[in-house]
Amino acid sequence: MAAAVSLVAAIVAAAPDPPPECSAPEYRRLDFWAGDWDAFEEGDKTGKPNARCRVDVILGGCVLREQYQQDDGLVGQSFTIYDAARRVWHQSWVTNRGLLLTIEGVWLATKGYADTIHHEGLPPLREVLDSLLANGGQVWACSACTKPRGITEEDMIEGAMIISAPDVVAELVGGAPLYTC
């Protein structure tokens, strides 16, 4: 009996480790966001950043953690994860001013969705999107997020476009500015 137990223990010990839970390609689509970033106020002509953002891949590659700090004392953290059961990216954002946002960002680019989102002390989200677009900004919705939700180009706000994750990375590597909210 002791020999059988030893044999089972040796087989278990020799078995390869299973791949990490979040090793599938879907979990890697936002890894380009990891790093240290300067953030700039929209419309500020000084070229000086007003905030610093650090994004780390944590919890075995399952979560992106953003740590954000503005010059005016606003501090926030977000946790972004791929929800494999629903095949969607999800972000939860909290601040030292009591603000909580739960974001599935692809909906922001659809007609009517941003029209009613407003938090006291901040401009309505629709105004922010309109200003971004009016000043030459672009709104991209990742095709990996739009497709499972049935969102098409016809559902998008004027000026927004569906773009693939590799194209987003190529744009950023090519120098396109990135603004997140």
In one-letter notation, the amino acid at residue 120 is E
Q: Residue 85 contacts by C-beta under 8 Å, 6 or more apart in sequence? A: none
Q: Whose CA is closest to 117, among 52, 38, 181?
A: 181
Q: What tokens appear for 26 in the block?
A: 């879907």
CA 6 to chain centre: 48
- Count helices and strands (H / E) in the chain: 4, 8
Q: Note the pLDDT tens digit of each residue in 107-133.
A: 888 999 888 877 777 788 888 888 888
> Please, which residues have CB within 8 angstroms of residue 103's CB and are 6 or more apart in sequence?
90, 91, 92, 93
What residue ranges in 35-74 does DSSP mark as E strands? 35-39, 51-58, 63-70
pTM: 0.55
pLDDT mean values, one per 10 residues, the chain (181 residues):
47 52 84 86 80 93 93 91 79 84 78 82 83 85 80 92 75 59 39
What residues does each domain of the chain span? 19-103, 110-181
Calpha distance 131→151 (Å, rounded): 23
